[in-house]
Amino acid sequence: MSKNINVALIGNPNTGKTSVFNALTGLKQKVGNYPGITVEKKMGVCKLPNGVKANILDLPGTYSLNTTSLDESVVVEVLLNKNDKSYPDVAVVVCDVENLKRNLLLFTQIKDLKIPAILVINMADRMSRKGISLDVAALEEKLDTKIALVSTRKNNGVPRIKELIADYASLSADPNVDTSRISPEYFSRLQKAFPNEDLYKLWLVITQDVNFTDIEKKRIEDATSFSTKSKTELKKLQHKETVLRYQFINNTLKETYKVDLQTAKGLRASLDKILTHKIFGYVIFFAILLLIFQAIFDWSTYPMDFIDEQFAIASEWLKNTLPPGVFTDLLAEGILAGIGGVVIFIPQIAFLFLFISLLEESGYMSRVVFLMDRLMRPFGLSGKSVVPLISGTACAIPAVMATRTIENWKERLITILVTPFTTCSARLPVYLILIALVIPEGRFLGLSYQALTLMLLYLIGFGMALFSAMVLNKILKIKSRSLFMAEMPTYRLPLLKNVGYTVLEKTKSFVFGAGKIILAISIVLWFLGSNGISDDFKNAESIVTQRIEEQGLTPYSKNYIQNNLDGYSEEGKQDSIRIMTPILKERARAQEIAGYKLEHSYIGYAGKAIEPVVKPLGYDWKIGIAVLTSFAAREVFVGTLATIYSVGSDEEETIKNRMAAELDASGKKPLFNLASGISLMLFYAFAMQCMSTLAIVKRETNTWKWPLLQLLFMSVFAYLVALTAFQILN
């Protein structure tokens, strides 16, 4: 039986490398057209026509093997280390047909490493529109390789790539360029000192700024028989190498690649002029943002209400169908309520990612990155910081990883530290429920107050990230800055399939990633809320009944009964009022018992213990518990409240209604009012309520110092802002 073969998928950023990976492996990795999508190597398996399985390794995009950043060094590390289990039997170099000249630089370098290489020319569907003609046979001969002309968007040419990979043994491993021409004397000395090593490999090890674990750069530097050159001299030789390569590429393309410039000019230039204009560009971008937030609120109301009601009905159904008992209560009040707190946000999360995906797919997102670069410079960030900050609107974890494209360490550190301020999708459920509760439904210039508030929260997050970057820039004293280079991909009609995948993947990862944690926390919370050891808990029913007999129902219960009876009074149904009054009184009594038990349960005592800390912010002990549990992940906040408010409740009520009905300590006004709501939203806007982000920051900085400082700063700042907001608004 034949062994699996290793295939390295390599290419410049924006060449559709990830699309080729998806087409080969069927893995649904995110496809984007701005740098930083693949910052780590990703593996997938592809079955070849000859029955052999190929391990496809998707490597980060790089312009050449002369690396400057951590993600690019991953590529060189894989290609140089023959002992690495990922070392490729064959390299598949993906190029963009419109940028073939620049893309071939990397191809010639890989060929010179004597790795069999296949050239995949992607986006072939645009050739006729762009006036490009290509003599594939002649190009194959000149580059001494096999070529697959593909269009992953149209799903053309992928079988050809598989055939070429299967037949990789017949590929030539001869180099394209004689690298010793860079400096014949130097290369001759190098080869003499290390006769058993490959010359170009040695050259790459010497010129890289990275210390490869298994390549042993130090061994070369320590070799007594060979003296290396100074950094400046090496840089000069690197430039010479690039010139040599471009001479070879120019000669190759002169006879094989033609572009009719008249055809190539089109709508793109005119669109770019408007979309990246220093005034209109921002106006259009903010208009698009407004449209997105308006849509999130207006369009998703109906499915959200539907989901909320269905969960309330399902909870009631479970209670009526299953035998009564504590486990039934756990299912109905703990598990179902917790899951409901996640599922309800699916429509809004899906809408958000639908729009983000449309912007990415159309090529507009790269223009946004370019636009924002101007805005970032005064804050000491490079344009490359924009990608993590924009990715942060989905999740801080991949965003922090995307900072690997930033070469300068201090700049990268600042971006890592400020990225968690951008509004991630986990904050969205918290904002949405609070906005729905405390912001009125009116409109301003056709835009709802609620949508405007949401947009404001996104801008606050982004603004805070910039402000913190400016402060950190002053503290850390950055002397040098990395250059920002971004490609402007061609505008294209978004492919529904890709957009659909992104929406599905993002929603799935929200539901299943956060859902498991929320479910586990809901179970623990329900247990802690339904059990207690004190006499007050055990005798709750008799204590509350006696209190009602002596002092009557609480103002909250009276309010609850009155609200329910008001509907009957308006309709003049006196008989209904007579029948409903004792029923509602009994329900109110049951709720008071449940409330009393909750207050004297384990969770009640824990909540009361932290209440002095959260009370100045306008929160009660229940919100305090939700803030505490949501330290694991922000979205746990809503699930926690849904569980706490469901414990002991026999009512078929939605999460929003339960929260809206809660009264503050005075029993006169809603607990979730404008002051406490704004305070909570600001707290979540600034607080580092995400253990996974802390873990990833630790991994990326190799120390606990930065994540702990980040946690401390963000938590203290969030507390102070929330405190100030509540005290002013109250």
Sign of CA dihedral 77, 79, 81, 86: positive
Q: Give the span between the Cα atoms of 150 and 97, in whole angstroms.
A: 10
Q: Does 129 bind other proteins (CB under 8 A)?
A: no
Q: Give the span between the Cα atoms of 67 and 64, in whole angstroms.
A: 7
Residue appearing with tokens 């490959």: 198
Q: Does 632 bind other proteins (CB under 8 A)?
A: yes
Shortest distance in whole angstroms from residue 480 CB to other proteins: 8
Helix and strand counts by DSSP (H, E) for the chain? 34, 10
User: Nearer Cβ to other proteins, position 206 or 524?
Assistant: 524
User: Nearer Cβ to other proteins, position 74 or 593?
Assistant: 74
Shortest distance in whole angstroms from residue 603 CB to other proteins: 13
Shortest distance in whole angstroms from residue 124 CB to other proteins: 35
Contacting range for other proteins; rule: CB under 8 A; set: 98-106, 129-137, 430-438, 695-703: 695-703
| Residues in contact with 542: Cβ distance below 8 Å, sequence separation at least 6, in sequence order | none
Q: Does 693 bind other proteins (CB under 8 A)?
A: no
Closest to 422 measured CA to CA, from 376, 386, 450: 386
- Residue 170 is encoded by which pair of tokens? 């017949």
Of 196, 225, 262, 702, the residue at the interface with other proteins (CB under 8 A) is 702
Of 409, 467, 512, 704, the residue at the interface with other proteins (CB under 8 A) is 409
Q: Does 50 bind other proteins (CB under 8 A)?
A: no
Q: Does 74 bind other proteins (CB under 8 A)?
A: yes
Q: Give the span between the Cα atoms of 64 and 207, in whole angstroms.
A: 13
Could you give the count of Cα atoms lying within 13 Å of 395 in the half-sphere of its Cβ? 20
Contacting range for other proteins; rule: CB under 8 A; set: 393-401, 403-411, 462-470, 652-660: 403-411
User: Nearer Cβ to other proteins, position 209 or 233?
Assistant: 209
CB-CB contact of 551 with 587 (8 Å): no
Q: Does 410 bind other proteins (CB under 8 A)?
A: yes
Contacting range for other proteins; rule: CB under 8 A; set: 95-103, 380-388, 523-531, 669-677: 523-531
Shortest distance in whole angstroms from residue 702 CB to other proteins: 7
Of 245, 412, 634, 658, the residue at the interface with other proteins (CB under 8 A) is 412
Site for other proteins in 271-330 (CB under 8 A): 323, 325-328, 330
Q: Does 210 bind other proteins (CB under 8 A)?
A: yes
Q: Does 446 bind other proteins (CB under 8 A)?
A: no
Residues in the chain: 730
Shortest distance in whole angstroms from residue 482 CB to other proteins: 9
Cα dist from 551 to 544, 545, 554, 660, whole Å: 10, 10, 8, 26
User: Nearer Cβ to other proteins, position 41 or 589?
Assistant: 41
Shortest distance in whole angstroms from residue 238 CB to other proteins: 14
- Residue 523 is encoded by which pair of tokens? 């179970």
- DSSP symbols for 72-120: HHHHHHHHH-TTSTT--SEEEEEEEGGGHHHHHHHHHHHHHTT--EEEE
Closest to 404 measured CA to CA, from 419, 383, 388: 388
| Residues in contact with 520: Cβ distance below 8 Å, sequence separation at least 6, in sequence order | none
Q: Does 252 bind other proteins (CB under 8 A)?
A: no
Shortest distance in whole angstroms from residue 517 CB to other proteins: 7
- Residue 728 is encoded by which pair of tokens? 């002013």
Q: Does 701 bind other proteins (CB under 8 A)?
A: yes
Contacting range for other proteins; rule: CB under 8 A; set: 127-135, 400-408, 657-665, 711-719: 400-408
Contacting range for other proteins; rule: CB under 8 A; set: 71-79, 350-358, 458-466, 645-653: 71-79
Site for other proteins in 360-399 (CB under 8 A): none
Residue 125's Cβ-count burial label (10 Å; 0-12, 13-18, 19+) is middle
- Residue 119 is encoded by which pair of tokens? 């050239």
Binding site for other proteins (CB under 8 A): 67-70, 73-74, 77, 209-213, 323, 325-328, 330, 404, 406-410, 412, 516-517, 519-521, 523-524, 527, 632, 691, 700-703
